[in-house]
């Protein structure tokens, strides 16, 4: 396999692509009053009171019921990508219709008590909708409310892709990591919308960095590895958060995961061995072959990103040609450590070198039997520490977070 300092190979994900984020149910809902139709319905309704993102604007006072809609922000600007909810104050809906500017109708249904209506489909981006609601008040009078609102454009919103998965069981070195799809200019504002809690409780800190793809990324980790059995919860309350540059958040997520058994591996490139310890006890020491001169395996702690039973490794995809070129069609029992191309895997072509000679292009190779055993033992989030090599792995090359001292890590927070 190639040295991890080379560009990542074609077809190897920078991290396991486990989800395409949807936009969650949203907490902050601005209220916008719809005009009472005591005048002809064709007349324009009064403008609503505007509110800052994430706040609630008061409904206009009238002698009949008022109507609000959510999720909304900044007056009539509505968060896209979620079902629309319309609520009545002081009356019950008899009918609600919502029509997009292209004539499409947003279907929905009334609640059992008639006080709210929810669309069956999510709203689109950058679309203007006309809302018409008929309400029966407590005094049996009826009124019609009309209004228009516009959803934010996709260019005006940002989301974060988070790791690990909801419900996952991970290793003790797994950080919480979020990569944002747009530049985050106001990092403090975004960080204030993020929270991690653990049971049992442990101190942790956020730290900002640039991901390998140049996008803004923030990771959260404790000072030392998580204790096995820890329950960790990430809360993302980013609805209406202004990231600067005219970008607003549209996510509200609550994601929990569990820390599994402690499996910590240590690779000594001088001894050419890898020792695997489970719950603090060494269970096996395996002979390995690491990166040869000029292709040395990264030093420092890396974290398991993914496991793949079989992959193709082609040196052309990482810019290695000539005498060092290779094309290995079926490489077995592959444990990925960096998005740039560092793996632990079976390397039967190096039989005779394990424990004796470092002969790889940066990966950690071993016998097929040992690689299969290791593949079955480790999980995403388990740490692999390489010692006595050269050049420490970069923080953003996978999860190199643990190579940063705790005080320096804390200084990476935008909140001081």
Element (H, E) at 86: strand 83-89
Q: How many CB atoms lie within 10 A of CB 258?
A: 15
302's tokens: 């890396």
Q: Which is catalytic among the residues 23, 37, 361, 363?
A: 363
Pairwise CA distance, residues 358 & 355, whole Å: 8
Tell me which DSSP letter residue 154 carries: G
Helix (H, G, I), strand (E, B) or coil at 322: helix
CA 259 to chain CA centroid, nearest Å: 18
Report how far residue 154's alpha carbon sits from residue 369's, in angstroms, rounded to the nearest whole number: 50
Identify whether 345 is a catalytic site residue.
Answer: yes
**Angle 274-275-279 (CA atoms, 0-180°, nearest 5)?**
145
Report the candidate in 79, 83, 89 with the shortest Cα–Cα distance to residue 156: 79
Q: How far apart are CA 237 and CA 28, in angstroms?
A: 9
Active site residue 363: yes
Provide the β-strand partners of residue 143. 135
Handedness of CA 38, 44, 49, 54 (dihedral sign): positive
Q: What's the number of CA atoms in the CB half-sphere (13 Å) around residue 164?
A: 26
Active-site residue identified among 23, 37, 345, 361:
345
Element (H, E) at 369: helix 368-377
DSSP H helical ranges for 181-318? 187-192
Catalytic residue annotation:
345, 363
């Amino acid at each position: 396999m190639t040295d991890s300092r080379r560009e990542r190979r074609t077809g190897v994900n920078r991290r396991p692509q486990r989800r395409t984020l949807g936009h969650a149910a949203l907490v902050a809902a601005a209220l916008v009053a719809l005009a009472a139709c005591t005048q002809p319905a064709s007349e324009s309704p009064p403008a609503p009171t505007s509110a800052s993102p994430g706040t609630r604007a008061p409904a206009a006072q009238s002698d009949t019921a008022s109507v609000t809609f959510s999720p909304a922000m900044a007056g009539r600007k509505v968060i896209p990508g979620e079902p629309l909810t319309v609520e009545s104050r002081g009356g019950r809906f008899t009918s609600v219709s919502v029509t997009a500017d292209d004539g499409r109708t947003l279907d929905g249904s009334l609640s059992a008590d008639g006080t709210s209506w929810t669309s069956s489909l999510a709203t689109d981006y950058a679309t203007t909708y006309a809302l018409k609601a008929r309400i029966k008040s407590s005094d049996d009078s009826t009124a019609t409310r009309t209004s228009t609102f516009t959803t934010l454009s996709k260019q005006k919103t940002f989301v974060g892709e988070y790791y690990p998965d909801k419900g996952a069981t991970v290793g003790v070195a797994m950080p919480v990591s979020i990569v944002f799809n747009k530049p985050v200019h106001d990092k403090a504002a975004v960080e204030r919308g993020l929270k991690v809690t653990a049971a049992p409780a442990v101190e942790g800190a956020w730290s900002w960095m640039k991901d390998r793809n140049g996008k803004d990324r923030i990771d959260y980790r404790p000072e030392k590895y998580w204790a096995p059995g820890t329950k960790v919860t990430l809360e993302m309350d980013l609805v209406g958060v202004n990231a600067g540059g005219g970008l607003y958040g549209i996510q509200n997520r609550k994601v929990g995961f569990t820390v599994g058994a402690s499996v910590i591996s240590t690779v000594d490139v001088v001894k050419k061995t890898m020792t695997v310890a489970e719950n603090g006890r060494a269970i096996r020491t395996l002979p390995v072959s690491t990166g040869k001169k000029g292709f040395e395996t990264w030093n420092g702690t890396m974290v398991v990103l993914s496991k793949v039973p079989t992959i193709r490794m082609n040196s052309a995809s990482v810019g290695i040609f000539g005498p060092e070129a290779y094309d290995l069609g079926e490489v077995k029992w592959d444990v990925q450590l960096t998005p740039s191309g560092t793996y632990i895997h079976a390397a039967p072509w190096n039989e005779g070198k394990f424990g004796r000679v470092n002969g790889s292009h940066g990966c950690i190779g071993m016998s097929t039997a040992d690689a299969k055993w290791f593949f079955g033992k480790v999980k995403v989030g388990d740490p692999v520490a390489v010692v006595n090599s050269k050049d420490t792995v970069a923080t953003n090359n996978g999860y190199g977070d643990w190579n940063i001292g705790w005080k320096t890590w804390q200084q990476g927070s935008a909140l001081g």
